[in-house]
Structure 1
Amino acid sequence: MADLSDPSSVFGDLAGEIGRNVYVPDPVEGYKLGELVDFHIDRLKIKLIQNNGDVEDIVYVPHDDVLPAEDDITKDVDDSCSLMYLNEGTLLDNCRLRYARKQIYTYVANILISINPYEVIPGLYSNENINLYHGKSIGTLPPHIFAIADKAHRELKGNKNSQSIIVSGESGGGKTESQKHILRYLCDRWGAAAGSIEQRLLDANPILEAFGNAKTIRNNNSSRFGKFVEIHFNKEYNVSGGFVSHYLLEKSRICHQNPGERNYHIFYQLIAGVDDELAENLYLKSPEEFNYLSQNPKFFANSGTFSKIPIHRRLQQNYLTDDLIDDYINFKTLQKNLEEVGIDEVIQRNIFSIISGILHLGNVNFEDSDDFRGGCCIDSNSSEYLKISARLFGLDIEDFRRQLTSKVIQSKTNSKGTVIIVPLKPSEARAARDAFAKAIYTRLFDDIVAAINNSIPSTDSQFFNERILKNEQELYRCEALNVPEVEFVDNQDCIELFESRGVGLLDLLDEEAKIPRGSSVHFTEEVHRHHISNFRILPPRRSRLRGYRNMRDNEGFLIRHYAGAVCYRTFHFLEKNNDTLHVNLEMIITTSDNPYLKNLFFPTTVNMSSKIPRSNIRTKVHNSIASKFRSQLNSLLSKLKMTGTHFVRCIKPNSEMKPGKFEGAQILSQLKSSGMTSVLKLMHCGFPSRISFKELYTSYQFFLPENLKKLDPRFFGRFRSH
């Protein structure tokens, strides 16, 4: 077998086997199958072979680009480590063969690759399969997400240590569905005794998807927030509770979506599924009549459910289809699930009032004021929307009008300062309106997650490299095993580029927000100045894409990530990093007649008319997205490092989200960026299956004679191997 760490060894094997199967790189398919015809000093002559066996073409390829293929090109295996040749070509082709047979799961040692089928595969997640995988070791049955869940539970019980299953991949890879299948397996196998806990854990998914998922170009049901689901087990290792932590909801989506994308599902579900009486009280109309939805006003539906949506709420005559998403049906399910987690009908009406209020608020526009003091006023065409949003938020309309068109600042002319009301320009008022909408929705989302957690009794890439690749090779060194070093992309320095104190990108962005006239141009110039010698960062003119090469150096930068170079336009960075809400807009909530809305901002409310010391008045509620991201990510990594880890790598097979379509180059890129090809090389050279001395000793202890029971586990292991 060729030594993959030495390209000349691969060439030596191939040169001696004219006529054997090989792989050559291809920009579309990732790798193409060929037959070695001849070899030259600097290249190999390859005869490409089509899927039907016909000869396609003759190509000449550099030695190092040619990879050996299996002798039997129709053979696939459950675990890619079982292949004769372990390389990118065989890994990709094994996944290709299995996917064509609707076998979406493949192992690389104990890591599961999951390729999104974009269709329902009958029986794949049946109760029979849940029972089948119970207690079975990895490899004894075909690859499955249930096997990973079962392994995690067995190690929880055997090692007396918390376990994490890290589900990662591109948007559209199937992470959300994978997480649901893991949860269902654990609850079905070990949640029966927990009664309602099991159901509440399962009920949480549709709620989180309604308020936290949206259609993107790449995924019809994309999670727009990070999620860490904890499942708690009792002393008998049965489900006893759970907890959901969420990270960085994408707030900008509430007010703006890219072409072809939608806002959060809940906005469409509410319009599609609410009964006529409540719809009238909420002043609901068709999605295209709301600015926050007009970018893509189409419902997800089928012919039957689309006809159930009242005509005046569906001016569009066509709709989107997806086997797993239907706005009308999903809203009916959502209402039941909210009830199950303790959000009763009264609170639901308050929530739906807030959702509708946000939609109407988005239709409030501003124009320059004729007042001699300048500023802006509400556009006359928006007056009705202002009235409706104020009514739904439970606010006084004139007070709401004032707070949307002005802000409060505190001057420091004396020791106590003076509060000044400053009129806003139309652009500033629009920004304040959007900030208000985002603040309300974010707090609503936080509260819904808290309600889910209250209903359940409580008793990533660099991390993958560290846990799998670094630790694996360190283990070989400690055990004095002669395993060749396998190089992999270590992106620790890339992480430091973002997180270093003072000069990291996150700190530079926060610092720019603090200076009086901070700008995206100045921020970008500072990035280039501080990192002029850092190979990770380049000016946009170095991009391979023509559209980015036309950018000025102070308009963006390229970052060489582990998965490839990405160009960032910085024009909106300051705006998106700013999580600021003017204090007067926050304080107006204290006057709301909607007790639920008031409680979102002020669990213990104060009357706005009460005397507040001027020194305590804040001009802004200021936070940055970057600082929150850093804090939440560090908290998550701290939790993960204390657990045993299991990995599921979700792969998106094509850009069109079509079943059965396998785009090789796109899939190969994902396999590389997820570390799978590096793991394959490591497992080829190393030992993919192992057991600790203690585990080995314990498995034999009952059968050993008394004199051998006294042996040290490590000595017993070595004694047994001789």
Structure 2
Amino acid sequence: METSMTTRRIKAGLDHVVVKLTASHAAVARDVVAKTIYSRVFDYLVERINSAVAAAASADRFIGVVDIFGFEIFATNSLEQLCINYANEKLQQLFASFVFDMEQREYVQEAIEWTFVSFPSNDECVSLVDGRPMGLFSLLDEQCLVPRGNDTQLAAKFYDTFSGSSCFQSSKLQRGHGQFAVVHYAGTVVYSTAGFCDKNKDSVHPEALELLVGSTLPFVTSLFRTSPTSSHMRKHSHSSKRQSSGGGGGGAVSSSVVIKFKSQLTTLLELLHATVPHFVRCIKPNDMLHPAEFTAPRVLEQLRCSGVLEAVKISRAGYPVRMPHAIFQREFRPLLTDKTADLATQVAALTAAHADLGALDHPFQIGLTKVFMIQAAYQHLHRVQVTLQGAATGTLQRIGRGFVARRRFRLVRSAIVTVQSWLRS
């Protein structure tokens, strides 16, 4: 184990040369092995759990809960935090698409008169991270392919490429320490490029893979012998060429960390786009992680940056209640006076018949396929329906009680006649 963690075999022509790793590279190799074992165990558990609770293959409806790690800002932020915060940016983009863009697009499709509400967009920040060919992730992958590529060169590339971006910042002090800042929707985060390249490669040395495959623990052996990724990584590791003096040198990176992360995130977002999502926003009450402490300005900033205030604004200014024409006519049929008239006439008569509706500003709009209502109009119609249903319930109860009383009276009268006839005889 010590040899596999502190050395690596490099192919030089037809020969193989064993090179000792520096302390920092040995530490990276150790961490990669630990993360690889964790990843294989995690995948194994997910596969077993899925097979145990899997629904029928024909099921086309489901209710899923997606619990995503929150936005992270630490004293020192590295590639892990950039990936996590990028995922949150993509989910924020999804939120904006569903709540703002699709909402207003439906008004256009239904020919509804509507004053468009501007909403915050994080498209530029997302493009800064995953843009091709000039995004943070793309440049990182490129640097990992360059012989002798390192974090210092990566930082310099970032500074030269993104100096004109409004979402990218780098002061002289930050440049001196290989740092840069990204203006996320939830706040500005300073990242350190130290370790970016090694973390992105995240490749296990073939010697370490051989060690894990030959483990004395049957479970560990099974994880690596049955994994196609293991043989691929082993093949790739043997075929790659490294510079013996290149502290983090180049070589082909078949699948970097950011490539895998983007692929998994894309798959998740495709699934979410195919569903009807409901969003639950978690707001930090304070930045000190103190219990029972509420910092109002910080909470307001989060609500504003995440688009919650704009979502509420659209909900209040727009038409949150909408029903297809047929459902509207069926649900409010008791309130419609002329059931043979067209829908526009029925809605106009309904508005004229109720002073509370007439006092509202455009309580209804009839779209091409749906009736749009403001919340106050729907609540008023609901209250009127409840009142009518209450009166109808009282009438039905009187009819029912009368039926029971008359039936009981007839039974009693018949019994009395029978008893009298018996006594007289």
TM over 0.5: yes
C-alpha displacement of 1:536: 2.1
Over 3 Å counting, the alpha-carbon distance change for 1:573 and 1:615 in structure 2 is closer
* 1:650 and 2:282 aligned: yes
Aligned to 2:215: 592
In the alignment, is the contact (CA less than 8 A) between 1:581 and 1:622 conserved in 2? no
In the alignment, is the contact (CA less than 8 A) between 1:580 and 1:623 conserved in 2? no
Amino acid at match of 2:270: S
C-alpha displacement of 1:642: 0.8
Aligned to 1:515: 146
| Secondary structure of 2:97 counterpart | helix
Q: Distance in 2 between matches of 1:593 and 1:695?
A: 67
Alignment RMSD, CA only?
3.2
* Structure with the larger helix share: 2
Over 3 Å counting, the alpha-carbon distance change for 1:405 and 1:539 in structure 2 is closer
Give CA deviations for 1:88-136 in whole Å, capped at 9, x if unaligned: xxxxxxxxxxxxxxxxxxxxxxxxxxxxxxxxxxxxxxxxxxxxxxxxx
Amino acid at match of 1:721: V
Q: Distance in 1 between matches of 2:107 and 2:34?
A: 54
Match of 1:721 among 340, 347, 350: 347
Aligned to 1:420: 17
Aligned to 1:582: 205
| Secondary structure of 1:647 counterpart | coil
In the alignment, is the contact (CA less than 8 A) between 2:199 and 2:257 conserved in 1? yes
Q: Distance in 1 between matches of 2:237 and 2:209?
A: 14
Match of 2:5 among 404, 410, 417: 404
Match of 2:187 among 557, 564, 571: 564
Aligned to 2:113: 482
Matches within 5 A, 1:324-363: none
Over 3 Å counting, the alpha-carbon distance change for 1:721 and 1:554 in structure 2 is farther
Aligned to 1:672: 304
Match of 2:55 among 458, 470, 479: 458
C-alpha displacement of 1:516: 1.1
Aligned to 2:324: 692
| Secondary structure of 1:559 counterpart | strand
In the alignment, is the contact (CA less than 8 A) between 1:497 and 1:504 conserved in 2? yes
C-alpha displacement of 1:700: 6.7
Q: Distance in 2 between matches of 1:615 and 1:664?
A: 53
Over 3 Å counting, the alpha-carbon distance change for 1:509 and 1:695 in structure 2 is farther
In the alignment, is the contact (CA less than 8 A) between 1:563 and 1:672 conserved in 2? no
Over 3 Å counting, the alpha-carbon distance change for 1:425 and 1:484 in structure 2 is same
Give CA deviations for 1:398-417 in whole Å, capped at 9, x if unaligned: xx232222212223x2xxx4
Match of 1:468 among 88, 96, 99: 99
Give CA deviations for 1:401-456 in whole Å, capped at 9, x if unaligned: 32222212223x2xxx4433323233332222222112111211221222221221
Match of 1:446 among 43, 50, 58: 43
| Secondary structure of 1:645 counterpart | coil
Over 3 Å counting, the alpha-carbon distance change for 1:418 and 1:676 in structure 2 is same
In the alignment, is the contact (CA less than 8 A) between 1:408 and 1:422 conserved in 2? yes
* 1:573 and 2:196 aligned: yes
Structure having the higher Rg: 2
Q: Distance in 1 between matches of 2:45 and 2:2?
A: 29
Over 3 Å counting, the alpha-carbon distance change for 1:430 and 1:614 in structure 2 is closer
Over 3 Å counting, the alpha-carbon distance change for 1:521 and 1:656 in structure 2 is closer
* 1:505 and 2:128 aligned: no
* Structure with the larger strand share: 1
| Secondary structure of 2:321 counterpart | coil
Give CA deviations for 1:200-220 in whole Å, capped at 9, x if unaligned: xxxxxxxxxxxxxxxxxxxxx
Over 3 Å counting, the alpha-carbon distance change for 1:564 and 1:659 in structure 2 is closer
Matches within 5 A, 1:535-550: 535-541=166-172, 550=173
| Secondary structure of 1:485 counterpart | coil
Q: Distance in 2 between matches of 1:632 and 1:694?
A: 42
Give the count of matched residue pairs: 297
In the alignment, is the contact (CA less than 8 A) between 1:537 and 1:557 conserved in 2? yes
Q: Distance in 1 between matches of 2:15 and 2:238?
A: 10
Matches within 5 A, 1:71-470: 400-411=1-12, 413=13, 417-459=14-56, 460-470=91-101
C-alpha displacement of 1:585: 0.3
C-alpha displacement of 1:465: 0.5
Give CA deviations for 1:7-30 in whole Å, capped at 9, x if unaligned: xxxxxxxxxxxxxxxxxxxxxxxx
In the alignment, is the contact (CA less than 8 A) between 1:524 and 1:555 conserved in 2? yes
User: Gapped runs of 5+ residues in structure 2?
Assistant: 57-90, 241-250, 349-425
Matches within 5 A, 1:704-715: none
In the alignment, is the contact (CA less than 8 A) between 2:9 and 2:17 conserved in 1? yes
Q: Distance in 2 between matches of 1:658 and 1:690?
A: 43
Over 3 Å counting, the alpha-carbon distance change for 1:601 and 1:676 in structure 2 is same
Amino acid at match of 2:125: C
In the alignment, is the contact (CA less than 8 A) between 2:213 and 2:220 conserved in 1? no
Give CA deviations for 1:266-314 in whole Å, capped at 9, x if unaligned: xxxxxxxxxxxxxxxxxxxxxxxxxxxxxxxxxxxxxxxxxxxxxxxxx
C-alpha displacement of 1:537: 1.7
Give CA deviations for 1:232-264 in whole Å, capped at 9, x if unaligned: xxxxxxxxxxxxxxxxxxxxxxxxxxxxxxxxx
C-alpha displacement of 1:582: 0.5
| Secondary structure of 2:114 counterpart | coil
User: Gapped runs of 5+ residues in structure 1?
Assistant: 1-399, 542-549
In the alignment, is the contact (CA less than 8 A) between 1:508 and 1:523 conserved in 2? yes
C-alpha displacement of 1:702: 12
| Secondary structure of 1:593 counterpart | coil
Over 3 Å counting, the alpha-carbon distance change for 1:432 and 1:519 in structure 2 is same
Give CA deviations for 1:636-691 in whole Å, capped at 9, x if unaligned: 11111111121111222234555543221221122122211111222232123323
C-alpha displacement of 1:505: 0.9
In the alignment, is the contact (CA less than 8 A) between 1:525 and 1:554 conserved in 2? no
Q: Distance in 2 between matches of 1:468 and 1:538?
A: 30
